[in-house]
Amino acid sequence: MSEVRLRFAPSPTGYLHVGGARTALFNWLLAKKQHGTFVLRIEDTDVTRSTQESVDAIFEGMKWLGLDWDEGPFFQSDCFPVYKEYIDRLVAEGKAYKCYCTVEELEAKREKALKEGGKPKYDGTCRDLPPQEDDGRPYVIRFRTPKEGVTSWNDLIKGKISFENAELDDLIIQRTDGTPTYNFVVVVDDVTMRMTTVIRGDDHVNNTPRQILIYEALGAPVPVFAHVPMILGADKARLSKRHGATSVMAYRDMGFLPEAMVNYLVRLGWSYGDEEIFSLTDLIEKFSIENVGRSAGVFNPDKLLWLNAHYIKTGDPVRLADLLIPFLKERGVDPAQGGPDLVAVVKTLQERAKTMLELADGALFYYKDELSYDEQGVAKAFNADTPALLTALVEKLAALPALDAAQIEQAFKELMAEKGIKLGQVGPAVRLSLSGSTASPGIYEMIETLGLTETKKRIERAIAVLCR
C-alpha cells in the first residue's frame, strides 16, 4: 500500500478562519491515524491579495492548535516554471489550446447563450483552430475538456458525485499575462507532491470534475476526495464576521484554550457515539473521515464556552498559570513582581472560570495593594460586632501550626463555637476583606494562598476602612 499523503493548502489573504482550521484538523488527523504525511502548502498565486502577514497568521494559528506539518511550507509562487512546463506539455499534446477571443467577444457570446436559454459557457471558437504562430495578439490557454462522457468520483463524505462533461467549460489554465490559474496549479501541486487524499470544503465540489479531467490528461493518479460541509452561523447563513469572531487567533485572545478549540472544531460535523470530550490522542485513534456528516455544522459559541470551561477546570494549573501571565500583564499585573504564587492562585479559580479572561479578572485581587469594596456586600456583612470577630480570627490563624485549608477551617470552627455564631456571620466579612467582592474563591483557599502576613494586612485594613 502506498504512503498516505494529505495537505492543507490555505490562501494567505487573511487570518486562519475557523472553517480552514477545521479542514486542516481533519487532514492532520487522518494523516496521523494512517501514519501518513501531512503537508502544508501556501497557495499564494494571487500576488495582489497574498501577504506575508497572512502567511504568518496561518503559521501562528496552526502552531497554536498543535497542528504540526511533516513537509513544507511550500509556496506556489516558487513553482511558476513547473506550471509552465506542464502547460506547454498539454498544448504540445493537443490537450490544451490557445484562445484569442477578447473579453468583449466572450461577453457577447455569454449574453447570446443566456438569451437562447443556454449556459453561459465558452462556445469553443478557438478549440479547433490550427496551431498559430505568435503574432503579438494576447491569448489565454484553455484546457480541452472532453465533450462526451461523465466525470464522477466516490466522495468519502458525500458519496458518488457525477458531472456530464458536456456541462463543463474549456477551462482557462493560463491567463493572458502568462500566469496559471487556480484549478490548474492545484492539480500540478497535488501531482508533484504525490497527494493521495484531498479533504477540503464543499465549496470546491464544482472544481473537482474539472480537476479530475486535468489529472487524467496528465496521466497522473487521481486522489481520493472528501468534501467537508460548510460551517454556518446560528441563522444558518455561512459563518461570517457578523456572527462574531471567525479567526482562530481571536479565540485565543478571547481566552479560549487550543484544546477546547480543537475539540469543538472536530465535533462540528464529526461524531463518535455520544462522546463529547476528546484529546488530540483520542482523536487520532477514533477519527474517521467517513463519520463526518453530510450536513453543515452550526457554530454554537455556548458549546465552545462549555468545552473551554471543562478544559480550564481539569487543566494543569502550572500550564494554565503560564498561559495566564500575558492576560494579567494586559491588566497591569506582573506576578513575577510579587504577590502569591500564581499556580496556587489558579488552583483557587479554575473551578469556576469559563475563559482565561475570566481567570485573569478573577486573579487581579490577589495582586492589588488596595481593594475597593463592594458597597452592598459591606452593608450586609459588616456590623458593630465585625471588628472583634475579625481580630479574633486573625489571632487564631496566627496560632496555627500550618496555614493549610484544613487547619484554617478548624480555626473558623473554633471561633464560631467560642462566639456562638454561624459561618454566615463572619465568612462574608472575611471574603470582602480579602477580595473586595462578594463573589470570590473559597475563603479557606484564599487565606492559604495569600498567606498569613497578607491575610492579616488585608483584614486590618478592612477594619480600619469599613468599621469607622
| pLDDT at 111 exceeding the cut of 90 | no
Catalytic residue among 119, 241, 354, 368: 241
What pTM does this model have?
A: 0.92
CA distance 358 to 344: 16
3-state secondary structure of 228: strand
Beta strands at 197-201 and 224-228: parallel, antiparallel or unpaired: parallel
Non-local (6+) Cβ contacts of 149 within 8 A are 165
Percent of the chain with pLDDT over 70: 99
Cβ-based burial of 433 (10 A; exposed 0-12, middle 13-18, buried ≥19): buried
φ/ψ (deg, to 5) at 226: -140, 120
Residues 124-134: tens digit of each pLDDT = 999 999 887 88
Active site residue 236: no
Q: Is the pLDDT at 1 greater than 60, yes or no? A: no
Q: Which amino acid is at 21?
A: A
Higher pLDDT, 206 or 241: 206
Q: Among all chains, which residue has been given the C-alpha cell 462578594? A: 438
Spatial neighbors of 223 by CB under 8 A, at least 6 apart, are 190, 195, 196, 197, 198, 215
Averaged pLDDT, 170-196: 96
Q: Helix or strand or coil: residue 379?
A: helix
pLDDT band at residue 45 under the 50/70/90 scheme? confident
**Among 397, 376, 377, 411, which residue's Cα sits nearest to residue 459?**
397
Q: What is the pLDDT of residue 79?
A: 95
Residue 118, pLDDT above cutoff 80: no
User: What's the pLDDT tens digit per position in 422-446?
Assistant: 999 999 999 999 999 999 899 999 9
| pLDDT tens per residue, range 321-356 | 999 999 999 999 999 999 999 999 999 999 999 999
DSSP state of 153: E
User: What is the predicted pLDDT for the residue at 133?
Assistant: 81
CA dist., res. 17 & res. 245, Å (int): 9
Supply 90's cell numbers. Answer: 498539454
Extract the C-alpha cell encoding 164.
Answer: 456530464
